[in-house]
Amino acid sequence: MDQTNSVTRRKFFHTAGLLGAAVASSSLMGLPSIARAEDAAPAVNIDELIAKKVGAGPIAMEKVTLDIPATAENAALVRMPIMVDHPMEANNYIQTVLLIIDSNPNPEIAQFDLTPEAGKVSLEFRARMAKSSKVRVIAKSNSGKLYGLVKEIQVAAGGCSG
């Protein structure tokens, strides 16, 4: 058996250990190390995101309800029941509901496209929150009118409140 190109387990762990030590020492010495996803992600302009997804224009802060407490019990799984008090008739209905969490690495959490056959807008979604943030719900009617709600949700360190 040719041993010239084979890597032994001992050699693999030795190399991995050296690489790990090099990365750790570079961060201790103030040198650039491996970037985290939060550092690399470009800042998202929330107004531009809303305009791109549901259209630009004034947002009436009415009709939308987000029934969650001001402090999330578990940041890994935040329950978000969304209701929009608007008719769901053939020519007058909510067409799109957009959920945004400002401080998440990817703020666009969910988009729901609806038809009048839905009967009412009552949705429930569970999302992970990276940290305390504003949560936005934007509802767009078929006529283009925008309704919304912004709610500040606190996330306790480590994902536990109390």
Q: What is the pLDDT of residues 127-151, one digit of tens each?
A: 998 789 999 999 999 999 999 999 9
User: Which whole-number Å values give the CA distances from 114 to 38, 64, 75, 141, in the listed order?
Assistant: 32, 15, 28, 10
> Is residue 17's pLDDT more than 70?
no
- Are 17 and 79 members of one domain? no
- Are 16 and 95 members of one domain? no
What would the mean pLDDT of 30-47 be, rounded to a whole number? 58
- Are 21 and 53 members of one domain? no
Q: Does residue 1 fall inside a structural domain? A: no
- Are 30 and 72 members of one domain? no
Q: Does residue 70 fall inside a structural domain? A: yes
State residue 70 phi and psi, 5-degree precision: -70, -20
- Are 92 and 50 members of one domain? yes
Q: How many domains does the chain have?
A: 2
Q: Does residue 3 fall inside a structural domain? A: no
- Are 65 and 105 members of one domain? yes
Q: Does residue 2 fall inside a structural domain? A: no
- Are 96 and 153 members of one domain? yes
Which pTM was predicted? Answer: 0.70
- Are 78 and 152 members of one domain? yes
Provide the terminal-to-terminal Cα distance of the chain, rounded to the nearest Å. 62
- Are 30 and 48 members of one domain? no
Of 48, 31, 37, nearest to 108 by C-alpha is: 48
Report the number of secondary-structure helices (H) and strands (E) in the chain.
Answer: 3, 9
pLDDT confidence band for 27 (50 / 70 / 90): very low
> Is residue 115's pLDDT more than 90?
yes
- Are 75 and 18 members of one domain? no
Handedness of CA 80, 84, 89, 94 (dihedral sign): negative
Range of the domain at 61: 43-159
- Are 22 and 84 members of one domain? no
Q: Does residue 65 fall inside a structural domain? A: yes
